[in-house]
Amino acid sequence: MTRFDITILGCGSAMPTTLHNPPSQLVELNEKLFMIDCGEGTQLQMRKYKTRIGKLQALFISHLHGDHIFGLPGLISTLSMLGRTDDLHIYAHREIELLLKPLLIYMGQHMSFKIELHPLNAGKKEVIYENKTFQVSSFPLKHRVNTNGFLFEEKEAPRHIIREMINYYNIPVREIAAIKAGADFITDNGTLIPNHILTRPPSPPRRYAYCSDTAYAPEIIPYIKGVDLLYHEATFAESELSRAAETYHSTARQAAEIAAAASVKKLLIGHFSSRYNELETLLHEARAVFSDTELADEGKIVSL
Amino acid sequence: MTRFDITILGCGSAMPTTLHNPPSQLVELNEKLFMIDCGEGTQLQMRKYKTRIGKLQALFISHLHGDHIFGLPGLISTLSMLGRTDDLHIYAHREIELLLKPLLIYMGQHMSFKIELHPLNAGKKEVIYENKTFQVSSFPLKHRVNTNGFLFEEKEAPRHIIREMINYYNIPVREIAAIKAGADFITDNGTLIPNHILTRPPSPPRRYAYCSDTAYAPEIIPYIKGVDLLYHEATFAESELSRAAETYHSTARQAAEIAAAASVKKLLIGHFSSRYNELETLLHEARAVFSDTELADEGKIVSL
């Protein structure tokens, strides 16, 4: 099975602390590396955790609050110093141009690659990236400014050939593609060998959803139904429920309620307020509702 | 004696590494806190080293290369979240407006304080900040873009009163200011008590000079003559002498030559290229020319 890893580079919130960096994470999927959000110091975190900065394909920016974007100038400048030539694709709300344009003017001729900006639709779910084996969608969250979540989904893979059976029935190479796609095979003497004898079902497609920043929003449940891993913000403990509502953030319990209602397999909570020196209360409050919950932490890798 | 401390927050160069952060340092002088340069992650370094972010008076930006300024948006945004109301004074080349303006538009009404920009003169030495006890000047360095060094200088303090002598001669309070300024005292019976009996000389004024980034530039020597501490960039070892010249940076030996020619008391070298995992060669090469040389390091504090 190909790698499908999520690496947490930062799981703090607006105010950085010595415990947590501003938001950023990497998704490595089928040999491609993507970044979600890029708070200040993200490139330093990439070095710390020895991630392959040169493999970065695209950036997905959930919204334009500073803690999610202030690492962009440094990252872009470093990629250019490293001599990147491939276009860098940035999926973000259109207003990011206000911040990127002066940077690009400033870098001018020193810029070794082009930035391709793909504006996000804050109103509805859309497929924003697609290749042969997986796709990425964005969908609306509920925050003080336009904010999108992201869904990384593998596509249904073809069935796996059982090598021994292919040899046993002496099946010619030209038939393999059709058999992978589900065809039966007819031997020289006319016997039909049903496909399920020749193949195994593929691993079920894996899915990862990122939901940050957002108020408690049951309307997102259809977008994230049954995912293998849900990252959901949990800025506050339940004691700050009203503060969470005012600031359009979630409590840990609310994150767990979304996870339970969406029947996800596992919940990872993050975007912790700087007021918490320890996170046991948040973990405890979430697990009371959804037991398969973990705390995000800088350097943590979750493999699907 | 009042505190005059330099704290290194970052002493790397353009490309951050796991060993060194981008350039930034703090100067604490007479209960006031100043920052020189502000590379990405500077606010995180301030937290790590428990510096008093709320006491920050002004920022001095040597030049507009990314590694010296990409920490500004995060720092400004955090100061605003902390509710700062005092103006923040930024001394930088005028073109910094290109990068600051969109940030300020973006922050809009959320900005809790005003930024007062003071353009630097890249052509000659100027006093840019002054109060009763010290002053800061900027002076031109030699780099690929307009770049200024900074000189922090205490003013000559008044002489110290010797309390025991004041009591012994029963000198009235109204005479004290004149005596501090150098006056003699005449007793009731007409005896002249010379000033040097009543006072001790003040500590000599302390001076700190910051020179980064710069090529080897003997023309800066008059500006930094005899300072107590010189921070001078030493991006390269001597083996990269031609690379240093091409990029308008200095080798460690060149930094030491400037220190020796300017008869400074102590040299601190920094702005190390990311190619060096260990800095013994640079230290060795500098000390061969100027023995009182130290390596900068994140978290290092030098007290004058």
CA atoms of B253 and B288, how far apart (whole Å): 8
Residue A257, token pair as written in the block: 């309620």
Contact call for A70 and B73, based on CB within 8 A: yes
Closest approach of chain B CAs to the CA of A230, in angstroms?
Answer: 28
- A18: nearest CA partner in chain B: B48
Q: Is residue A171 packed enough to be buried (19+ CB in 10 Å), middle (13-18) or exposed (0-12)?
A: middle
The amino acid that residue B185 corresponds to is F
Give the pTM.
Answer: 0.90
Of A74, A81, A106, the CB nearest to B40: A74
Catalytic residue among B67, B184, B213, B228: B67
Closest approach of chain A CAs to the CA of B146, in angstroms?
Answer: 14
Which of B20, B80, B106 is most worth mutating to test chain A (most A CB atoms within 10 A of its CB)? B106
- A104: nearest CA partner in chain B: B99
Contact call for A47 and B101, based on CB within 8 A: no
Contact call for B66 and A77, based on CB within 8 A: yes
Contact call for A48 and B18, based on CB within 8 A: yes
The tens digit of pLDDT for each residue in B200-214 reads 999 899 999 999 999
Which of B20, B40, B53 is most worth mutating to test chain A (most A CB atoms within 10 A of its CB)? B40
CA atoms of A180 and A195, how far apart (whole Å): 9
Which of A9, A44, A93 is most worth mutating to test chain B (most B CB atoms within 10 A of its CB)? A44
B5 is catalytic: no
- How many contacts, defined by CB atoms under 8 Å, are there between A and B? 80
- A48: nearest CA partner in chain B: B18
Q: Are B140 and B122 in contact (CB under 8 A)?
A: yes
Q: What are the backbone angles phi and psi of residue A179, rounded to the nearest 5°?
A: -65, -40
Contacts of B66 in chain A (CB under 8 A): 73-74, 77, 107
The tens digit of pLDDT for each residue in A187-230 reads 989 999 999 999 999 989 999 999 999 999 999 999 999 999 99
Prior bond of A213 cis (ω within 30°): yes
Closest approach of chain B CAs to the CA of A128, in angstroms?
Answer: 26
- Give the H/E segment covering residue B29: strand B24-29
Prior bond of B213 cis (ω within 30°): yes
Contacts of A78 in chain B (CB under 8 A): 15-16
Of B66, B101, B105, the CB nearest to A74: B66
- B64: nearest CA partner in chain A: A106
Q: How far is CA A188 from the centre of its chain?
A: 49
Question: Residue length, chain B?
Answer: 304
Question: Residue length, chain A?
Answer: 304
Of A17, A18, A73, the CB nearest to B70: A73
In the predicted model, residues of chain B with pLDDT beneath 70 are none
Which of B209, B202, B222, B201 lies closest to B153 in space, CA to CA? Answer: B209
Q: What CATH number does the domain located at B4-157+203-303 have?
A: 3.60.15.10
Residue A273, token pair as written in the block: 């307020």
Q: What are the backbone angles phi and psi of residue B150, rounded to the nearest 5°?
A: -130, 145
Contact call for B43 and A48, based on CB within 8 A: no
Q: How far is CA A78 from the centre of its chain?
A: 23
Of B41, B47, B74, the CB nearest to A44: B41
Give the domain ranges of chain A. Answer: 4-157+203-303, 160-200
Local confidence pLDDT in tens for the 304 residues of chain A = 789 999 999 999 988 899 999 999 999 998 899 999 999 999 999 999 999 998 999 999 999 999 999 999 999 999 999 999 999 999 999 999 988 888 888 877 789 999 999 999 999 999 999 999 999 999 999 999 999 999 999 999 889 999 999 999 999 999 999 999 999 999 989 999 999 999 999 989 999 999 999 999 999 999 999 999 999 999 999 999 999 999 999 999 999 999 999 999 999 999 999 999 999 999 999 999 999 999 999 999 999 9
Which of B58, B11, B13, B10 lies closest to B32 in space, CA to CA? Answer: B58
Helices (H), B42-131: 42-48, 72-81, 96-107
